[in-house]
Structure 1
Amino acid sequence: MRQHAVNQHDYRRNQVEPRKARVDILSRVGDCLVAPRETNHADNKQNQRDPEVGLLPPAHAGGIIPCGRYTWVMTPPQTAHWLMQPAPDRDVVISGRVRLARNLVHYPFPHRASEAQLHAIAQTLRDALRAAGLNREVELSRLSLQDRARLVGARVISPALLPELPHRWALMDETGGVVAVINEEDHLRLQITCAGWQPQVLSESLLAWERALNRMPLSWARSPKLGYLAASPVNLGSGLRLGLLMHLMGLQRARQITRWLEALQALGCHTRGLYGEGSLAFEGYVQISLLGRRDPLDELLARLRGTLRTLIDAEREARIAIGRDALEEEWQELQATLRHSESLSLGTTLRALAVYRMRAMLDYHDARRDFADALLFEAAVYPPPEPEHAAKERADWLRRRLGTAGTA
């Protein structure tokens, strides 16, 4: 059976051509991995620098998009319900995620499949995943661009699914902590997310879902020599990727973040901005990921654990040097910009959320910190160039949301 799977998935014939560079979500924020903090707070200047991406207010807030007999509830609190759970190291590690990539035998990868084949893949996987408990689903082509952009911001789908493509689906459990995306780069991308740094939770959840996938009446494309096959050669093997979303604002403002990212890269980690490949780290928001290749998750966690603990301690120490008076002055300037500007750039918005979050942590105010993280996951992320109305809606959204929470 395994050899038959390899024959059906002739890897040399289906080898992926060099992919076009993914959308550079923050392409004009800066020219290096870690963008410098703005010294000029004039919003009109910011708008000239990074007009591509929008952070928009929640579309269809409280609405339900029907999809057959299943529904997808679009309200952000339910989309990121897992984010509100208490977790260790939440001040530095916003979330941890593990992702599995799988492909079915007898079908080409999505970028080579016909529409009929994509439909068959989607139907097969939807039936199996619903039986496994992922009962909230939506066909992405039925959503507006704005709704798809919100799912990118919530890290439910990647920017690759922003275009309106047929037979692309997303399914999730009731908490939003387990998401399955169908017909993205691979037939199935299953991701498990939790708040903070909880390696044991990730490990146990992954083991349960690996067993669930293996119990399904499906044949996964796998080679005895290469492991699980994937559309991208870098994902061959276990199909596993471990990722962390971190806030390293202290190290960035102390100008120490670059050497830490280089140390992580020496361990084999990939460092990216908020929105994955092609995006930049900004105001200390950075993603760190580690590919499994042939290694199980426990080995990935062991490789990362010591360095990550040292990094968390270094970030906390660096925050001590952040002057509270200077931070308050910066916050007052941002509030003035928010009150008087009709539009906001992405850079100014992320900076406002980062400063709001840092003030909350210096005050040991966990609720305000978690609220800042929730706002980060509410943001709508568009392909460049973003719609003309996005900058104005971004300003209205942030004024309204920060106003309801209080900004003292």
Structure 2
Amino acid sequence: MRFSTLMKHPADWMIGKNVNNEVVVTSRIRLARNLRDLSFPGWAKKAERVAAMDKMRPKVEALKVMKNGFSHELSELEPLQKQVLVERHLISREQAARGQGSAAVVDRGQRLSLMINEEDHLRMQSIRAGLRLREAHQLLSKVDSALEKDLEFAYDDELGYLTACPTNLGTGMRASAMLHLPALVLTEQIGQVLQAVNKIGLAVRGLFGEGTESLGHLFQISNQATLGESEEVIISRLERVIAQIETHETNARLKMLEDEPNQLSDKIGRAYGILGYATMFDSKEAFSHISLLRMGAAMGYFPEGTMQACDSMMMEIQPAHLQLHAGAELEPEERDIIRAEILRSRLQTLTAPAINIITNDIVGGSEITGDLNFENE
């Protein structure tokens, strides 16, 4: 599959059909693996990295799930193309900075992505829409088992899988979920929730992982420790915490609708109006307005399909996607203008929010009181 073909098709997890992804947008499982008796990529010389890639890449491409997939060495891609893959969460920012000896292999549905010679020899990840960590894990486990028949991974009976970063020792697994939490942000409860999450050893990151900020009220929550715990224990704990955060976000939305329906309608209506008429947007502002539309869609202000349209817009307006759309590198101000043009065009296809039909006869909704404690969940 060519890069242009990959870009024509939205990822399966972006569409979110028949899946509840109003709060939990995506689930992701990532496994880190290294070849036995070979230097980790960060220590290997170029010739060693190329040799390792040549050993792994054919095995990955031969996987049944990778039939007619996308496979490219990163040195063959333009910087803009690599950044687009980052924005689609198919490769990491760290791998995008690498060149010869690194490759990316992605299945047609963009559910499965294998990064060759990132920080580890193999970084395998599976992404699914909604809270479906177990489905993502099941798919990745099959891939891991299939590759282990042909590739000898570095493993220690006491430490587990050996990885470049000590925090990945053991299972080598990172489980994470991307959550959309606008109501907790607007009601100023988000700090309390995130503090409680940090207390139990889970990590909270921005849209693109470690070191990035939250855009569009999107937060990524994942496990930090992988040593001494089974994959089942890690996933079960994360599922419980994510489900509780989802409940708090849902309650916060209902509380806003119950206590301040006019203010809520105003926020959603203003976001729709601004997106439909503004002539310049930076990423942060655009994401914030789209986030409010997405929340409104989940709460019944818009017809079915609007939430998926919001997810597509969030992808389309990111810097690399904008420049790919324009066919040229753009200065920040040029990107802001084109971003607004795209959003105005998309808003023309969306039905205006049905402010007058929203009622207050919804049971439930409460503020968070006291300290949150996920440890016993």
TM-score between both structures, scaled by the size of structure 1: 0.75
- Cα distance in 2 between the residues matched to 1:342 and 1:336: 12
Please report how far the alpha carbon of residue 199 of structure 1 lies from its aligned counterpart in structure 2 after TM superposition: 3.5
Could you tell me whether the CA contact under 8 Å between 1:87 and 1:195 is conserved in 2? no
CA change 1:399–1:120 in 2 (3 A) is farther
**Per the alignment, in what secondary structure is the counterpart of residue 191 of structure 1?**
strand
One-letter identity of the residue aligned with 2:282: S
Structure 2: where are the runs of 5+ without partners? 321-329, 354-377
Q: Which moved more, 1:290-299 or 1:337-346?
A: 337-346
- Cα distance in 2 between the residues matched to 1:381 and 1:175: 23
Matched, 1:121 2:52: yes
Matched, 1:308 2:242: yes
Q: Which has the higher contact order (CA 8 A, sep 6+)?
A: 1
Matches within 5 A, 1:7-406: 65=2, 73-75=5-7, 77-78=9-10, 80-86=11-17, 88-133=19-64, 134=66, 135-163=69-97, 165-215=99-149, 217-291=150-224, 292-322=226-256, 323-335=260-272, 337-338=274-275, 341-363=278-300, 365-380=303-318, 387-388=331-332, 389-406=334-351
One-letter identity of the residue aligned with 1:226: L
- Cα distance in 2 between the residues matched to 1:150 and 1:346: 15
- Cα distance in 2 between the residues matched to 1:89 and 1:340: 31
Structure 1: where are the runs of 5+ without partners? 1-63, 66-70
Please report how far the alpha carbon of residue 298 of structure 1 lies from its aligned counterpart in structure 2 after TM superposition: 1.3
Q: Between the two proteins, what is the percent identity of the paired residues?
A: 27
CA change 1:342–1:140 in 2 (3 A) is farther
TM-score between both structures, scaled by the size of structure 2: 0.81
Please report how far the alpha carbon of residue 110 of structure 1 lies from its aligned counterpart in structure 2 after TM superposition: 1.5
Please report how far the alpha carbon of residue 264 of structure 1 lies from its aligned counterpart in structure 2 after TM superposition: 1.5
**Per the alignment, in what secondary structure is the counterpart of residue 207 of structure 1?**
helix
Once the two structures are superposed, residues 61-83 of structure 1 have per-residue CA deviations (whole angstroms, 9 ceiling, x without a partner) of xxx73xxxxx66232534x1233
Once the two structures are superposed, residues 39-93 of structure 1 have per-residue CA deviations (whole angstroms, 9 ceiling, x without a partner) of xxxxxxxxxxxxxxxxxxxxxxxxx73xxxxx66232534x12332435541110
- Cα distance in 1 between the residues matched to 2:58 and 2:156: 25
- Cα distance in 1 between the residues matched to 2:342 and 2:50: 37
One-letter identity of the residue aligned with 2:291: A
**Per the alignment, in what secondary structure is the counterpart of residue 298 of structure 1?**
helix
One-letter identity of the residue aligned with 1:392: I
Once the two structures are superposed, residues 376-397 of structure 1 have per-residue CA deviations (whole angstroms, 9 ceiling, x without a partner) of 3345356xxx843332332233
Q: Which moved more, 1:233-242 or 1:368-377?
A: 368-377
**Per the alignment, in what secondary structure is the counterpart of residue 287 of structure 1?**
strand
One-letter identity of the residue aligned with 2:7: T
- Cα distance in 2 between the residues matched to 1:269 and 1:129: 31
Please report how far the alpha carbon of residue 359 of structure 1 lies from its aligned counterpart in structure 2 after TM superposition: 1.3
CA change 1:332–1:317 in 2 (3 A) is closer
- Cα distance in 1 between the residues matched to 2:83 and 2:349: 24
Alignment RMSD: 2.4
Could you tell me whether the CA contact under 8 Å between 2:103 and 2:116 is conserved in 1? yes
How many correspondences in the alignment? 335
- Cα distance in 2 between the residues matched to 1:219 and 1:164: 24
CA change 1:370–1:234 in 2 (3 A) is same
Please report how far the alpha carbon of residue 336 of structure 1 lies from its aligned counterpart in structure 2 after TM superposition: 5.1
CA change 1:366–1:160 in 2 (3 A) is farther
CA change 1:401–1:162 in 2 (3 A) is farther
Q: Which moved more, 1:341-350 or 1:250-259?
A: 341-350
One-letter identity of the residue aligned with 1:352: H
